[in-house]
Chains A and B, each alone.
Chain A
Amino acid sequence: MSYRRKIIVPFRVQVIFWTLLSAASILIIATRFEMTVDLGYFLPPPTTDQERVLVDRLGQGPGSRLLFISVPLSIEQDAEAIRVRLKNTILDSKLFSNVFSGDLDISVTSIPADIRLHRYLLADIDLSTTGLRAALLERRADMAIVADDDLLSLMAEDPYLASVTTLEKLAWSDSAGAINWTSPDGLTIYLIAETIAPAFDMAAQKRAVDTINTTVTAILSQKPKLHGVGAYGVELQDVIKTEAQQRSVVAVLAIAIILLLAYRRWQVIWLTALPLSIGALAGLAAVSLLFGRIHGITLAFGFTLFGVAVDYPLHLLSHMRRTRSSQSVASTWPTIRLGAFSTIIAYLALTISGSTGLAQLGVFSATGILVSLYATRSLLPALVSAAPCIPASPKVSSMNPPEFRHTFWIAALLTGVAIVVLLPRSVWNNDLSSMTPIAPEKLLRDRELRLDLGAPDIRYLLTVSAPTQEGVLQKTERLKPLLEHAQAAHWLDRYQLVTALAPSLATQEQRHARIVEAAENKDEMQQVMRDLLLRPEAFQSFLDDLRRAANSSDRVSTSSLKESSLQDLVNSHVYFDGDHWVSIATLVGLHAPELLAKNVAEGIPGATLVDLKGAAESLVENYRMRVLLLLGIAFSGIIVFLYWRVGMGARLLWVCGTLLAAVCLTGAVTAMLLGALSLFSLFAVVLVSGLGLDYALFASRTETDTASRQDTLHALTICASSTLLAFLILGFSSVPILQAIGVTVAIGVSLSFLLTLIGVRQSSISR
């Protein structure tokens, strides 16, 4: 005969252990906790070129850092003076790389030094005497209207106006003056502020938005209207934060009321909260130790998934109402443990998803559940024993083994499948934009402003890739004739290529050769000037610069630019993705994406028109398949685990069948009510499976007597009702993401509870 000797640890020691664990967790969190909002954490590895660009450039594309500012004015206010003052004040904050208001200030002193110095390497200029003659004739025609000394100085130094040409190529706004930066009635002026921080850096975007609001309010005593990715992100963050906080408070109060009504003791609230708190701290500490930075989504969803742990103290408390004996604990604990470990298996499956964010979610939830589980077992029985009991039931009978009614779960499963099959549209919604709570009229206004003010497109990017940086720059240069054709055909209004500022070395060498040749023709150039009745001595600076450029071995590279705004521009257009160099062409006013995509694909190998919306949907779909696969692996693992613990039999079949039916029917009903299932609903289904498993295991266990059965029903009812209420409150949120999670879990809890109640018959042994 073998027996296991049970080690009894004094309660005082257990308290010290949990206190030390909590203290250690707090210390780890205090020293290592760092939050991030980089969405890349939650994205799976991209599988296509388009997805790769999306992941690499998420929130960093040229158009995504723009904030569109609409400033209302009264008729007597000087619009232009206000515009200048706003622009200067906003730039002084150092949060913005540029503020555009339609004025392209061209003078010798305003042209960036990098461009002035290398102007003849940056543009294809005909430096022959014929070319010079043509340029000087143009300048003479300019002199028919220009008398400004600054502009005359510019012409003298740069008769080709090569610097101006480069600046115009880099400006995505229309320098021909066709854009109106004032509304037709003159009562609104527009500015565009480009943030230094990428769009996904919500903290920096909030500082930028607050700066603009403060600046406009200080000058005009009224707030501007803001549009743009960053503005919407800040608004969304505030909305979600407010909604989540308000609803969490209401949910916690509601749960507290339910617990008080069910247990009639104030003590139950802190007894329930204690193991959860210890578990939450342990979960955060584990993630901090393993990953360093924790993503905001991990925290938000982690606490949601971790919520299943609230059931463990409730089961124990319900079974300890009548008697505080260790037998109550001993009879309940194995089922609690079984459910908890099964849930942990499901959450641990997330850690092998390939996504850092999901792995964090898995570690946080699994650690939290494990620690909460043992904190519950360790602390609650001793803490509860001090409280008075409710009277024991006078009539207690023994129970028959449970009778499993497989009909119900089979019917539920078939119903779920039928709903899915009969739905007139796809069950899945891959369009993340439908999850945004931003009002449609705001999104429409954003699009209007982008088109009206000539801002870069944020949906389409033209990319080329090559193994080397020189290779990618050469390929980018080959895009130019293709894009010029697209412009001429009105497929596209404007474009911006990084090679306007950083040409390939091969191109620069060709241009340098022309500079050298031109510099040797000084006398011929001076004769051309005399022929056109110009004073050669007035153009000496041009000739000196030409000679200097001819003798210089300096070339422009993507890392050599000294002006930070130019370096930012280059960095946003060319980068190394780990495998290849990628160059991005900014497009403005793209009217025929299909035609451009076809031309690009046929014209230049390795060039692609990336539809970021399409790439996002493809990524979501792949992500969803990955999560579904993981859930399938987790489910298989749970079956194996349950088989090991409860053996093959009717109970295993019923538990697994009920769980599967609850999950399937939840998905089907949610899709029916909300239109389709999103990725967020899928995460919610993971929680539903944890809860449903807990209910099924308890409902299907062999009870010792009718009192125990009543306690089980009591616990299940409280668990289900508290969870239902909490997520129902969330389900009424105006934020689609929160609504999706709330509705899914509310439906899932209800169906799981119902199926477990009706799916098993527990009868007492009649005397």
Chain B
Amino acid sequence: MISGATMRKVLVGLILLGLWQISIGADTQTSIDAIVTHLSPPDHTPQPFVERRQNRLLAEPMVLEGEVTLFEDGTLSKVILTPFSERILVTNEFLELERNGKKRRVSLRRDHGARALYVGLRAFLEQDLDTLLTLFEVVAIDPADPWRIELVPVANDAKRFVAKMIITGSGPDITSIRTIQTEQNWQEMLFGFGERP
């Protein structure tokens, strides 16, 4: 016969187990909150980066170096310095490419997918968790430091561009953003003290 004391221990154990599970779930959300809300405020000065890009046409990843800037008005600028010179500006309304002195502008009004990606990235950088969560499913793969967060677009037209994004960082700093379309098609941008390949 099971004693009353044993039953009480089992009951307390079950209660504690339940509490532990709740605290684990709460910890995951807390982790995302903690990571995103503790990011350094956006620095509106140019940030150097090294980017590796791979696709099915390339024999090996392309390596680009340049600077990326998030301006106060929300405009995102990516300036490639090597191996060629190119500048890309992205706003909520358009994407502008400048190369060899020629500019070309494409409206983003009708491209919800591209716009969603821009808005999502900006939300992440500006610690706007609410907006981020409407555009992406956000999972903290590694909540501890160095942390790793995975973002998967919610909208189908955004998924056309990106299957998922993996953002890594340490403390308040982002160290890399990896964008994946397929196994053969991905881009990885390294910041600050990220290792150059």
Contacts and interface: CB of A to CB of B under 8 A. Distances in A.
A149 B55 CA distance: 9
B30 interface: no
Interface string A148-171: 110010011000000000000000
B55 A147 contact: yes
Contact of B60 (A80, A145, A533): A533
Interface in A97-144: 102-103, 137, 139-141, 143-144
A177 interface: yes
Given A79-B109, A177-B107, A178-B105, A144 B86 contact: yes
A616 to B, nearest CB: 38
A186 to B, nearest CB: 9
B56 A535 contact: yes
B105 A530 contact: no
Contacts of A223: none
A387 interface: no
Interface in A532-564: 533-535, 538-539
A83 interface: yes
A640 to B, nearest CB: 74
B171 to A, nearest CB: 30
Interface string B66-93: 0000000000000010001010100000
B109 A80 contact: yes
Given A141-B99, A147-B161, A177-B94, A530 B107 contact: no
Contact-residue size bin, chain B (C-beta under 8 Å from the other chain): 20 to 34
A182 interface: yes
Given A144-B53, A145-B88, A147-B161, A83 B110 contact: yes
B104 interface: yes
Nearest to A539: B57
Max count, chain A CB within 10 A of own CB: residue among B53, B57, B64, B104:
B57
A148 B60 CA distance: 18
Nearest to B110: A80
B187 interface: yes
A710 B181 CA distance: 101
B160 interface: yes
Contacts of B182: 149
Nearest to A141: B84
A84 interface: yes
Given A80-B110, A143-B53, A533 B62 contact: yes
B94 to A, nearest CB: 7
Contacts of A16: none
Contacts of A539: 57
Contact-residue size bin, chain A (C-beta under 8 Å from the other chain): 20 to 34
A102 B109 CA distance: 11
Contacts of B64: 144
Contacts of A181: 107
Nearest to A538: B57
Nearest to B56: A538
A392 interface: no
B107 A155 contact: no
Interface in A516-542: 530, 533-535, 538-539
B187 A147 contact: yes
A439 interface: no
Contacts of B185: 147, 149, 152
Nearest to B60: A533
B58 A176 contact: no
B59 A534 contact: yes
A143 B105 contact: no
Max count, chain B CB within 10 A of own CB: residue among A103, A147, A148, A152:
A147
B175 interface: no
Interface string A25-51: 000000000000000000000000000
Contacts of B88: 145
Interface in B30-66: 53, 55-60, 62, 64
Contacts of B9: none
Nearest to B96: A177
Interface string A169-195: 000000011100110000000000000
Nearest to A136: B57
A90 B71 CA distance: 41
Max count, chain B CB within 10 A of own CB: residue among A144, A149, A152, A539:
A144
B109 A535 contact: no
Contacts of A83: 110
B8 interface: no
B110 A152 contact: no
A149 B86 CA distance: 21
A535 B97 CA distance: 26
B57 A143 contact: yes
A533 B59 contact: yes
Contacts of A148: 160-161
Interface string B15-39: 0000000000000000000000000
Contacts of A147: 53, 55, 161-162, 179, 181, 185, 187
Contacts of A530: 59
A535 B110 contact: no
A539 B103 CA distance: 28
B106 interface: yes
B62 A140 contact: yes
Contacts of B57: 139, 143, 152, 155-156, 534-535, 538-539
Nearest to B181: A147
Interface string B124-159: 000000000000000000000000000000000000
Nearest to A83: B110
Interface string A60-99: 0000000000000000000110011000000000000000
B104 A102 contact: no
B196 interface: no
A181 B106 CA distance: 12
Contacts of B187: 147
Contact of A143 (B58, B103, B110, B112): B58
Contacts of A177: 94, 104-107
Nearest to A175: B104
Nearest to B102: A176
5 nearest A-B residue pairs (beta carbon): A177-B105, A80-B110, A538-B57, A533-B59, A535-B59
Given A147-B55, A147-B181, 5 more contacts: A80-B110, A84-B110, A141-B84, A143-B53, A149-B185
12 contacts: A83-B110, A103-B110, A137-B84, A139-B57, A141-B84, A143-B55, A144-B62, A145-B88, A148-B161, A149-B182, A152-B185, A177-B94
